[in-house]
Amino acid sequence: MREIVLDTETTGFEPSEGHRIVEIGAVELFNHLPTGKTYHQYINPERPMPKEAFEVHGLGDDFLKDKPLFAAIGQAFLDFVGEAQLVIHNAAFDMKFLNFELQRAGLPTLPNSRATDTLLIARRRFPGSPASLDALCRRFGVDNSAREKHGALLDSEILAEVYLELVGGRQPDFALATGVDKTRQADASGLQADWRPRPRPVALPPRLSEAEAAAHAAFVAKMGEAALWLKRG
């Protein structure tokens, strides 16, 4: 299963008010494993950058003025995404901007059904708890120390780690996936194809009750010194 973890940076909150995308970052996953393939593009928004937005991502007019317009990169973005499911934190925000830009450029839009919203997943799993990307990094021990300002590619890479934790831990189907080339698994994850689980840091407690253990010992005693359970390998 191919998924694209995606993030955007914009000039504001509403495309209907003239705000535009200024950065797209995306990371490819295959069967919940990062493949190393990414997409990253800065975009000229054709408008001044509001001070409030600049303070969030640090992308100013001078930096963006020579970057391509969305119309020039829109098809390359769609080619990278392909038919993959999109994984986005607060998907409604990014999807409305992406579809606004795609429609404006005369390109096919992306159905909202193709977006998996990690914000909604986090709120269902941890009701009442903070569900921002930074809060989830703290919860799962994901290193976000490089995130001094928002950046689409860095945030996508961080979100990919958070997403894998949200759906059951990193590489949740590593040993169960079928039809996947083991060499690709090893290359994508940096692990060997003969990966084995590590020993438990703490042994599981015994499940036998004291009464059951005593009954077993009495049963073995009746069998005499030749009982198999009394022999040591």
Query: How many angstroms separate the CA atoms of 182 and 179, rounded?
Result: 9
Percentage above 70 pLDDT, the chain: 79
Task: Note if the pTM is more than 0.75.
Answer: no
φ, ψ of residue 50 to 5 degrees: the values are -65, 150
C-beta of residue 32 within 8 angstroms of C-beta of residue 164: yes
Q: What is the mean pLDDT of the chain?
A: 85
C-beta of residue 104 within 8 angstroms of C-beta of residue 70: yes
- pLDDT of 181 reads 44
- pLDDT of 210 reads 77
- 32 tagged catalytic: no
Averaged pLDDT, 52-67? 96
C-beta of residue 160 within 8 angstroms of C-beta of residue 5: yes
Assigned architecture for domain 2-189: 2-Layer Sandwich (3.30)
State pLDDT tens for residues 153-168. Answer: 999 999 999 999 999 8
Helix (H) or strand (E) segment spanning residue 35: strand 33-42
Averaged pLDDT, 11-24? 97
- pLDDT of 163 reads 97
State pLDDT tens for residues 75-106. Answer: 999 999 999 999 999 999 999 999 999 999 99
- pLDDT of 24 reads 98
Label residue 112 by pLDDT band (50, 70, 90). very high
Query: How many angstroms separate the CA atoms of 20 and 45, rounded?
Result: 5
Sorted by where each begins, the domain ranges of the chain are 2-189
| Bridge partner residues of 193 (DSSP) | none
Q: Which of 40, 57, 150, 216 is catalytic?
A: 150
Query: How many angstroms separate the CA atoms of 87 and 163, rounded?
Result: 8
φ, ψ of residue 6 to 5 degrees: the values are -135, 150
CA end-to-end span of the chain, whole Å?
47
- pLDDT of 203 reads 64
State pLDDT tens for residues 170-226. Answer: 654 443 443 444 333 444 333 444 445 556 566 666 666 778 778 877 777 777 776
Beta strands 2-10 and 33-42: pairing type? unpaired
Label residue 137 by pLDDT band (50, 70, 90). very high
